[in-house]
């Protein structure tokens, strides 16, 4: 088995696991929504709730290497706004996010780029 975070990650990389969106009650883990899983699939990466309390999501390459942690805990994102407030509100928040983070979201494969592509 290659060096990976854990067996669940290894199984997902091998295509043997479909991890659900998860938030164990009381754990503080971010609830990853289907929107983000679909975006991760398009980018060819895997996402898991971050073990770092400052971030929402850990991003891993196909071979199991940790790339970065993204999404500051305590702030909402596009899929969360979609679910809670609807499409019109979510689009407005997305527009404001993209303006606010113009410099860091355009550097390919940076933390900001992954956040922009997976959460917005």
pLDDT (0 to 100) of residue 38: 96
Kindly report, residue by residue over 63-97, the tens digit of the pLDDT: 999 999 999 998 999 999 999 999 999 999 999 99
Kindly report, residue by residue over 2-49, the tens digit of the pLDDT: 444 455 555 554 444 444 444 434 456 788 999 999 999 999 999 999
pLDDT-based confidence at 115, cuts 50/70/90?
very high
Q: How far apart are CA 35 and CA 38, in angstroms?
A: 5
pLDDT (0 to 100) of residue 8: 56
Residue 28: both structure tokens together? 């503080």
pLDDT (0 to 100) of residue 16: 44
Contact 27, 56 (CB under 8 A): no
Q: How far apart are CA 42 and CA 55, in angstroms?
A: 22
pLDDT (0 to 100) of residue 80: 94
pLDDT (0 to 100) of residue 28: 62
Q: How far apart are CA 34 and CA 65, in angstroms?
A: 22
Residue 32: both structure tokens together? 């990853």
Q: How far apart are CA 21 and CA 63, in angstroms?
A: 21
């Amino acid at each position: 088995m290659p060096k990976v975070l854990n067996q669940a990650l290894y199984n997902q990389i091998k295509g043997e696991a479909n991890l659900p969106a998860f938030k164990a009650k009381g754990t503080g883990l971010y609830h990853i929504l289907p929107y983000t899983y679909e975006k991760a699939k398009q980018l060819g990466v895997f996402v898991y709730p971050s073990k770092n309390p400052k971030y929402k999501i850990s991003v891993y390459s196909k071979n199991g290497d940790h790339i970065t942690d993204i999404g500051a805990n305590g702030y909402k994102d596009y899929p969360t706004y979609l679910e809670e407030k609807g499409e019109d509100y979510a689009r407005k928040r997305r527009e404001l996010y993209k303006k606010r983070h113009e410099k860091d979201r355009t550097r390919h494969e940076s933390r900001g780029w992954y956040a922009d592509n997976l959460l917005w």
